[in-house]
Amino acid sequence: MKTTNHILATAIATLLIAPAAFATNGTNMTGVSAVSSALGGTGTAAYFGAANVIINPAMIGKGEGTIVGFGGTLFKPSVSNDGGTGGDKQNSSADTFVIPSVAISSRINESLSFGIGMFGTSGMGVDYSGYPAGATDMTRGLFKAQSQLQIMRIVPTIAYNTANAGIGFSPILQYGALDVNYDPTGLGMGLSKFGSGTASDLGYGFTLGGYYDLSKQFTVGAAYTSAINMKYKNQLNSSTGAAANFTGFGLSGITDNLEQPAEIKVGAAYTMGNIMLTGDLKQVRWGEAKGYKDFGWQDQNVIALGLKYTQPGYWLGVGYNKADNPIKAQDATLPGGGAINMFNNIFFPATTESHFSVGGGYNLTKAVSLDGAVVYAPEVTTTVATGMGNNTTSHSQMSYTMSVRYKF
């Protein structure tokens, strides 16, 4: 047990200092564990172990004994932007991130279960601070742009279950950090350098979920996660302090609030012998979230599908996740429209849509299993009008997740 405690302490410490990463459904990760990631990010009605505390807290009521899971994701986004020149694109150097996770669930008695998880759930970031060969501030159009958003959630959970149903509740403590900076001094617009260092905040919310077994083979589930308001001082505000530079781009009324949006999801899982089919439908309410709605984001519908094949000692899985780009292009002829398009496409290009996944797991012992998943998001190219021409971003992703599960 001392070894296990040491491993958990190390995982928690790593999580607290983890950098931001690009995410997939908008700024949110498609999955938070190897099993969920392999099966397209599903889990609203399928039991995957302690990681269910972040997906649907009611599902830990299907567990037995005590389960400890920890692991991490190596995230490799590939983002490039042409700076509005229509020529060669410059690659963002923010192309490698590590996102750790840890979760524990334990049965208290026949009807009650407890769990807690700590996850990096959302993030984004670009780094165009390096000059491409032969480029200057006047020709590159990216003005050394850098952005970094990181969101971490601590999620204690209590779940109640009967023979064929369950409910669960998770209060959420959310830590967020945001840094936006750029240097437009060479663009001839009378602007100075922007950036006041990383700002952070704590926010609070909750997830409420439930499930019902229609039969031994067929489970349905649903969960709601509240919006969590965050405020990052001097990062987005267009009227005071260093952030007044946004006014030079024609933006007004922008605050420092950047709210993580509410989510509603429903799911189903059907088992046929050693094959399980899972499916989730989710709506992410970017269009109602402070900050995101100011930059033209709209509600995003997500469909996730997974298939898991299980044999004694191992499992294999595949998945698919589809979510349309939540960023709505603005009319560049209207005040601020072109500036919003430019800001989204350069700083926050959360544009990937389709995600293909594969994974598997192997029982090392009766108590220990090793799981892994690979997720690929094909390249998406987005061109928007900025009022000074067009700006084009290309974005693709690869991620590799490994996790270890202990069952006591």
pLDDT tens string 337-371: 888 898 899 999 988 999 999 999 999 999 999 99
- The alpha carbon of 289 is separated from its chain's Cα centroid by a whole number of angstroms, namely 15
Residue 193 has pLDDT above 50, yes or no: yes
Q: pTM surpassing 0.75? A: yes
* CA dist 46 → 57, 59, 212, 318 (Å): 11, 7, 11, 14
| Mean pLDDT of the region 157-186 | 92
In the chain, the largest separation of any two C-alpha atoms, in whole Å, equals: 69
Helix (H) or strand (E) segment spanning residue 75? strand 66-81
What's the mean pLDDT when you consider all of the chain? Answer: 86
Residue 57 has pLDDT above 50, yes or no: yes
Percent of the chain with pLDDT over 70: 86
Listed range (25-29, 158-162, 202-206, 279-283) with the worst mean pLDDT: 25-29
Percent of the chain with pLDDT over 90: 62
The pLDDT of residue 86 is: 77
The pLDDT of residue 238 is: 58
| Mean pLDDT of the region 91-117 | 93
Give the total number of structural domains in the chain: 1
Identity at 166, one-letter amino acid code: G
The pLDDT of residue 194 is: 77
Domain ranges, residue 230: 2-407
The pLDDT of residue 134 is: 57
The pLDDT of residue 121 is: 87
The pLDDT of residue 387 is: 79
* pLDDT confidence bin for 99, thresholds 50/70/90: confident
The pLDDT of residue 253 is: 72
Euclidean distance between CA atoms 285 and 259, whole angstroms:
10
Whether the Cβ atoms of residue 260 and residue 174 lie closer than 8 Å to each other: yes
* pLDDT confidence bin for 190, thresholds 50/70/90: low
**What CATH number corresponds to the domain at position 139?**
2.40.160.60
The pLDDT tens digits of the residues spanning 247-265 come to 555 566 778 899 999 999 9
The pLDDT of residue 42 is: 96
Alpha helices in 322-390 (DSSP H): 337-347
The pLDDT tens digits of the residues spanning 301-340 come to 999 999 999 999 999 999 999 998 899 998 888 878 888 8
* pLDDT confidence bin for 139, thresholds 50/70/90: very low
Phi, psi at 377, each rounded to 5°: -115, 115
Going by C-alpha positions, the residue among 310, 311, 314, 308 that lies closest to residue 362 is 314
